[in-house]
Amino acid sequence: MDLDPEKAKQMSPRYLNQELTRPLMTMTIILTFGSSFQYGYNLWVVNHPASLIQEDYNITLKMKKKENQNTMNFLLTLTNVIYSLGGVTGSLMVCPMADTCGRKGTLVITNLLAFISAIFLGFSTIVHTYDYTIFSRLLSGICSGILSCAVPLYLAEIAPRNLRGGIMTMAMVAVASGVLFSQILGLHELLGSHKKWAILLSLTGILAVFQLFILPKFPESPRFLLIQRKNEEKARQVLRVLRAKEDVQEEIEELHQEDIAEMEEKELSVLNRLRYKGLRKQIIYVILLMAGQQFTGVNAVYYYTEYIYRTKWLNGYKSRYIIIVCSTFVLLTLLFVSYSVDSLGRRLLILLGFGICSTFCVLLTISQELQMTVSWLSYVTYIFLLIFLLGHVLGPGPLPNVIIAELFLQSSRSTGIMLGGFVHWLLNFITGVIVLQVENKIGSYSFLLFWPLCIASFVFIFRNIPETKQKSFLQIRNLLAARAIKKIKVRGSHHQSNPFKGLHGGRRKKPRAVTSHVPSVPSI
């Protein structure tokens, strides 16, 4: 249901140009750099002290008389990828938690769990057993899986439509900041030593405690309050705080319109929403967007960057400084995306990102193959790798979450975010397990495996995903419906233009009874 055109025209100058108010900016920064930062930090933190963790595991294996290299390699790989398996579990918990406890309640509960997991990790060097460390990483992954979905969900529902993209991508800025800080603190001069690596793993507990004190003072999502809790007065109060003005009637009316439009979806359970015909297109879009994000090849880079950078003239320790420089460029690129996504649009940035990744999958393969004979091409490979990473964070990295949140109305949004998180973490886990094995077998040609998937993602987004900037959630739903109807009409006109094609050798000779032979136009 759309707003009346005359009414929309009258209110658009004020309503569609909301300013970034101080309360909204403060909440965004505190939430992202308190919660999303933990996700990014934990994502990378075991990479640098891997050799120290290996020494600790050796002690346990000697005690159990199971010491051998295959077992050690398996345990180290498991320690790394168990985090993603925890993310899979956590992402599946988001929807029931967000709809039962509320968006804010989910964030509070998760930070309490994150504090407990940080304490567990802090005792890793005291307990001296790989079972304990792996379990602690699993618990940390569950927290990150919830946060990676709950934070964008909350941000999408408190942001005005003209700032929604920039505010949501701040979560990815915080994730990249967490990765960068874990890389810096993991250096041997800081916390990357044998005595301090457990402290390195548990530092996120400080942020979790900070969030536990601050988040209860945050307001609940106004959309959740009005549409799912039927508390209009509380939603109005929250909007007045977020928008820093008294008159929020226009936004309240939009929420009422969305409430009416999704009557049928409200009564459905999570599983029924996933099977609901009216959401089938959005469900497919979520799966393909997240699959495209993971199959750019970026997970291979993030998991094994140090391995890729390490060469005969650059040892593993020095390569860490190059990784830190790369992460700095990634962070700067994400800041650019956050600043420009609401002006340049989602489609332009994500298509440009997939185009860069598609191109540099091929160039990286060529440069890696030739650098064995031409030594100076090693430098070119590093430049190509950096451009590839920047291309990923320009669009495929941060923007699928934004688009997914915008494809759904209020009651089904948590289901869409949950599904996106599940696909993200599941593919992250799969690539983390198999990519190194592929690298060992086919070497520099491994990037070519991702090239057709990048191209396919580019084509899919170009043909199916509309531009969603500056639009309300209801307008985006109507836009998807209009595009579907247009496609059906095009197919119908194509069939009707030659209803007897294939009959009597393709001649337009009218038979005696045509009703049983004329192809029917698909129903809406």
Q: Mind listing the pLDDT tens digit for each residue in 79-137?
A: 777 888 899 999 999 999 999 999 999 999 999 999 999 998 888 767 777 778 888 88
pLDDT tens-digit map of 272-331:
888 888 889 999 999 999 999 988 878 666 655 555 665 544 555 566 788 888 889 999
CATH number of the domain that residue 68 is part of: 1.20.1250.20
Q: Are residues 286 and 213 part of one domain?
A: no
Q: Are residues 186 and 287 part of one domain?
A: no
% of residues, the chain, pLDDT over 70: 78
Q: Is 256 within the bounds of a domain?
A: no
Terminal Cα distance for the chain, rounded: 18
Q: What is the predicted pLDDT for the residue at 188?
A: 79
Q: Is 75 within the bounds of a domain?
A: yes
Assess contact for 429 and 87: CB atoms under 8 A: yes
Q: Are residues 388 and 284 part of one domain?
A: yes
% of residues, the chain, pLDDT over 90: 46
Q: Are residues 410 and 307 part of one domain?
A: yes
Q: Is 188 within the bounds of a domain?
A: yes
Q: Are residues 430 and 310 part of one domain?
A: yes
Q: What is the predicted pLDDT for the residue at 69?
A: 63
Q: Is 238 within the bounds of a domain?
A: no
Q: What is the predicted pLDDT for the residue at 171?
A: 95
Q: Are residues 209 and 302 part of one domain?
A: no
**Banded pLDDT at 65 (limits 50, 70, 90):** low
Q: 197, 218, 239: which is the final residue of a domain?
A: 218
Q: Is 165 within the bounds of a domain?
A: yes
**Banded pLDDT at 144 (limits 50, 70, 90):** very high
Classified as helix, coil or strand, 273 is helix
Q: Are residues 287 and 212 part of one domain?
A: no
Q: Are residues 174 and 55 part of one domain?
A: yes
Q: Are residues 127 and 198 part of one domain?
A: yes
Closest by CA to 287, choosing from 167, 381, 420, 383, is 420
Cα 142 to its chain centre, rounded Å, is 15
Q: What is the predicted pLDDT for the residue at 507?
A: 46
Q: What is the predicted pLDDT for the residue at 510?
A: 45
- Give me the helices (H) in 123-269, please: 124-127, 130-158, 164-185, 197-202, 204-214, 222-223, 232-243, 249-261, 263-266
Q: Is 334 within the bounds of a domain?
A: yes
* Exposure letters 215-246 (e unless 16+ CB within 10 A, then b): beebbbbbbbbbbbeebbeebbebbebbbeee
Mean pLDDT of the chain: 82
Q: Are residues 414 and 323 part of one domain?
A: yes
Q: 168, 194, 218: which is the final residue of a domain?
A: 218
| Window from 71-75, 390-394, 419-423, 494-498 with minimum mean pLDDT | 494-498
pTM of the shown model: 0.86
pLDDT tens-digit map of 256-289:
998 888 877 777 888 888 888 888 999 999 999 9
Q: Are residues 164 and 283 part of one domain?
A: no
The arithmetic mean of pLDDT across residues 220-243, rounded, is 94
Q: What is the predicted pLDDT for the residue at 6?
A: 44
> 72 is in which domain, residue-wise?
21-218
**Count: domains in the chain:** 2
pLDDT tens-digit map of 354-407:
999 999 888 888 887 777 777 677 778 788 888 999 999 999 999 999 999 999
Q: Are residues 371 and 462 part of one domain?
A: yes
Q: 218, 239, 261: which is the final residue of a domain?
A: 218
Which has the higher per-residue pLDDT, 61 or 461?
Answer: 461
